[in-house]
Structure 1
Amino acid sequence: MLRSMYSGISGMKVNQTKLDVIGNNIANVGTTSFKVSRVRFQDMLSQSAGKASGPALNTGGVNPKQVGLGVKLAGIDTVVYQGMMQPTSRNLDVAVDGEGYFMVAKGPRTFDNTSLVVDANHELSGSSNLSIMYTRDGSFILDTEGNLLTSDGYRVLGYSVSGNGMKPTGSGAGAASAVSSSIDASGNIIFVDADSVSGTASNLKANDGLKTLRIPEKIFVGSGTGSGAIQKRIISFSIEKDGLIKGVVEGGQVAVLGQIAMASFKNPAGLEKLGGNLYLNSANSGNAVVRSGIGTDPTKDNSKGYGDMLQGMLEMSNVDLAEQFTDMIVASRAFQASGKMISTGDEILQDIINLKR
């Protein structure tokens, strides 16, 4: 049979795959934080019809004579550049402006920082029953317990933040000599006052491990749930650029409820897509490098290498429709041309058969 027919078949196969990828890109033009994919081709093995020879006494060199045997798929790449920011005015929507992924988990909730510890290399260590995934989709929701979740119910991970001996400015039964915003084993948050969580505060410190973040309806103002604690309702909350979640309680005081964690990868294009805007690290993406929490020793702090979290915004898809439609035209014409090559080969075979009447 003619080699050109099989080359045409290979061309139809790879261009069909390219059209599949383009169709998926166009379908996800409105998907939050979607990253566009592209297809790359490479030629297949070539059959040698003549070897190359060097210059001789009476003649010059001769190039090799090779016949290509078609095309094959070289790879399908994920293009991870940032999409456009879309304002939503929703306080649970968070976009990442720059490098980084949110860390979400499926499994038993945890209010402590002992199972998922961030080591000196900013990688997770320890044992945990949580299945950790990554996303740039910051369209979060809350459940009835106040757990911060993705739209599919996966729990958002972060740090608890301690006040390191700070005192509330008020006095009375609710005042404490040393306070912290960590969530205890019962899920109770201990109070930190407004003066202690200003943008220039240097005495806030994140714990070394990750936990389930929670924005409850009420918190205990004081040193815990004892006789000196007063339960107050959270009337609003905000998410800072560094991921700090601050809740405003009755009376205008502010409590630090935690800090949203972020991760980055040596090769983010190597992440495996799980669907639902979720990714899983693969053998080629490398392990997740976790962003340092607030109050980390400056010699070990890597937070400057990550993007800002923007509340009330979402990152949109990075699909360029003009580019996709152009690629679709090229791929469809290449598919038609490959099909025409097969029909042309068929006509040639028919002529050969008709030589014998």
Structure 2
Amino acid sequence: MLRSLFTGISGLDAHQQMLDVTANNIANVNTTGYKSSSTVFEDTLSQTLSGAGATAASTGGTNATQVGLGVKLAATNLDFTQGASQPTGVPSNMLINNDGFFMVTKGGTQMYTRAGAFELDESGHLVAPDGAEVEGTDGKVLDLSALHSGDYVSYSIGQDGTISGIKRDSSTVSLGQVGLATFPNPEGLTKVGDSEFVASASSGAADVGAPGTGSRGTISSGYVEMSNVDLSKELTNLIIAQRGFQANSKVITTSDQILDTLVNLKQ
């Protein structure tokens, strides 16, 4: 069989995966805290027809003759640039300005997220839409049950993550502090759904602390971070993936025509 036939198939697979990633980005254009991904291709093994030759007394050096055998998806890279700020007016909703991740836990699993659409539940915990509970600077789930005691009329969250209960006489009491985590390589985090990530060997260990300290950003209460998907870029990638797929389809069609010609040499 012709090498080009299988090379074309690898091109179809790679551009189908590019199309899948692009489609997922477009689908999440309005998802809170979503971070877009991009594809990186690399060539596969090459067949060496002749090796490189060194310079001799009477002849010059020669380069290796190699024929490539296709393409493959090398990686999908996460883009952690800041998304647009969306005001909600809900005090439990939070946005991280610059670097950092909210720390949340669910079912014993430690996770991290940029989606700050949290709500205060009946047990006094800040929870994500999937039920994951927000943690403080000590790595423990925040306990804001005092807000349900009747001693406070409202609460506020400061830029440093401090949660303050406001009494009827307008005095405030600190009830806890939201913690943030940063990573040596945030692009190495693994997506687990619900706009949440888990640490991996590539991301490195979490560096936990208060908002506004170290490389951690500050918090804006009453806002959420929207998706950072650039729709014009994704629609362009859609065209690129489509044309790449069509071009590789043409390679397969052409290879088939050549095989047909060879088979029909003898009638």
1:225-252: CA deviations, max 9, x gaps?
A: xxxxxxx531121110100011111111
Q: Cα RMSD (Å) of the superposition?
A: 1.7
- Residue pairs, 1:55-204, within 5 angstroms: 55-107=55-107, 130-159=108-137
State the partner residue of 1:340.
250
List 4+ stretches of structure 1 deviating above 6 A.
none
Percent of aligned positions with the same letter in both sequences? Answer: 44
Q: How far apart are residue 59 of structure 1 and its match?
A: 2.5
Structure 2: give runs of 5+ residues left out of the alignment.
Answer: none
The residue matched to 2:203 in structure 1 has which SS? coil
| Structure number having the greater helix percentage | 2
1:238 aligns with 2:179: no
Answer whether contact 2:52 2:63 (CA < 8 A) is retained.
yes
Shift of 1:154: 1.6
TM-score by length of 1: 0.71
Hey, what does 2:2 align to over in structure 1?
Answer: 2
CA–CA distance in structure 2, aligned partners of residues 35 and 217 of structure 1? 33
SS at match of 1:290: strand
Distance 2:65 2:214 in 1: 56
**Secondary structure of residue in 2 paired with 1:234:** coil
Aligned length: 267
**Rg bigger for which structure?**
1
How far did 1:9 drift?
Answer: 0.4
Query: CA shift at 1:145, angstroms?
Result: 2.6
Q: Is the partner of 1:96 in helix, strand or coil? A: strand
Secondary structure, in 3 states, of the residue corresponding to 1:237? strand
- Measured after TM superposition, the shift of residue 218 of structure 1 is 4.6
Structure 1 pair 63–150 and aligned structure 2 pair: CA distance change class (3 A): same
Instruction: Tell me how far apart the structure 2 counterparts of residues 283 and 78 of structure 1 sit (CA, whole Å).
Output: 16
Question: 1:334 is paired with a residue of what secondary structure?
Answer: helix
Quote how far apart the aligned CAs of 1:87 are: 1.7
What amino acid sits opposite 1:147 in the alignment?
A: H
Number of the residue aligned with 1:175: none
Q: What's the TM-score once normalised by structure 2's chain length?
A: 0.95
Residues 255-303 of structure 1: CA deviation (Å, up to 9, x unaligned): 111101111111111111111111111121112111148xxxxxxxx92
CA–CA distance in 2 between the matches of 1:49 and 1:314?
57
Unaligned runs of 5+ in 1: 108-129, 160-207, 220-231, 294-301
Letter in 2 for 1:210: K
Look up the SS of the partner of 2:111 in the other structure: strand
1:218, 1:327 → 2: CA distance?
50
1:313 maps to a residue whose letter is Y
- Using the TM superposition, give the Cα deviation of residue 306 of structure 1 relative to its aligned residue in structure 2, in angstroms: 0.6
Matched, 1:17 2:7: no
